[in-house]
Amino acid sequence: MDVLTDNWSVYGEGFLGTVELTVYSSLLALGLGFLMASFRVAPVRALRAFGTVWVTVLRNTPLTLLFFAVLLGLPRFGLVLPFEVFAVLALGCYTSAFICEALRSGINTVPPGQGEAARSLGMTFGQTLGSVVLPQAFRSVIPPVGSTLIALAKNTAIAGAFSVTELLGTYRTLNELGYSIIWTFIWIALGYLLITLTISLLFHMLERRCGVAR
């Protein structure tokens, strides 16, 4: 227990850093995922092509490589931001591709007649998608979206290698202080477990309230 009780501030700072990265990256991923899913089913060919390229590139790019591209590549083009912001961009964009595909699979479960009926009433594509299709699609994609955000929370560990404060990175400080590496990693693992179980509980409650009855 000494490794935890003697280093509350170290663990606390790392834990809060991971929580912040998870929350901000999740918001960005959900927003971009919704936008790209809309592009993937849009009647405009250019938008569909853009959405397809976005998903194909990001889903097939290692996250570590994306971190290098964002944190080391963007400053070369004059975009200088805190490393935490770059980490959120890398995590959010990467995860948005998986959110997009989860939402698109949900959109495909909605009967085509729903959209046709909405268009026959004079609704635009945006109105049909936002008011008719997505509310029905969302109910069926709650579990996969929750699983994707749990994966995002664990992926935040990569940010520690790029000078971003997060939970896994605390092991370096504690190792230098001479604490047992085994117990250090046990408490780090329990911190990640707390975060992922919280996300799982939230989505379980959301599924029970809004999900499709099986």
pLDDT of residue 214: 47
Confidence band of 6 (pLDDT split at 50, 70, 90): low
Return d(Cα 34, Cα 95) in angstroms, integer.
12
Return d(Cα 202, Cα 9) in angstroms, integer.
27
Q: CB of 166 within 8 A of CB of 14?
A: yes
Return d(Cα 54, Cα 137) in angstroms, integer.
21
Return d(Cα 37, Cα 111) in angstroms, integer.
17
**What is the arithmetic mean of pLDDT over 146-167?**
90
Residue 35: Cβ-neighbour burial (10 angstroms; 0-12, 13-18, 19+): middle
- Residue 30 pLDDT > 90, yes or no? yes
Count of other CB atoms within 10 angstroms of residue 135: 12
- Residue 203 pLDDT > 80, yes or no? yes
Return the top range by mean pLDDT from 38-42, 90-94, 140-144: 90-94
Both structure tokens of 184: 């250090």
Q: Which of 34, 95, 100, 33 is nearest to 67 (CA)?
A: 95
**What is the arithmetic mean of pLDDT over 65-88?**
89
**DSSP 8-state code for residue 28:** H
What is the number of alpha carbons within 13 Å of residue 30 lying toward its C-beta? 14
Q: CB of 154 within 8 A of CB of 191?
A: no
- Residue 115 pLDDT > 80, yes or no? no
**What is the arithmetic mean of pLDDT over 109-136?**
73
Q: What is the percent of the chain where pLDDT is above 90?
A: 42
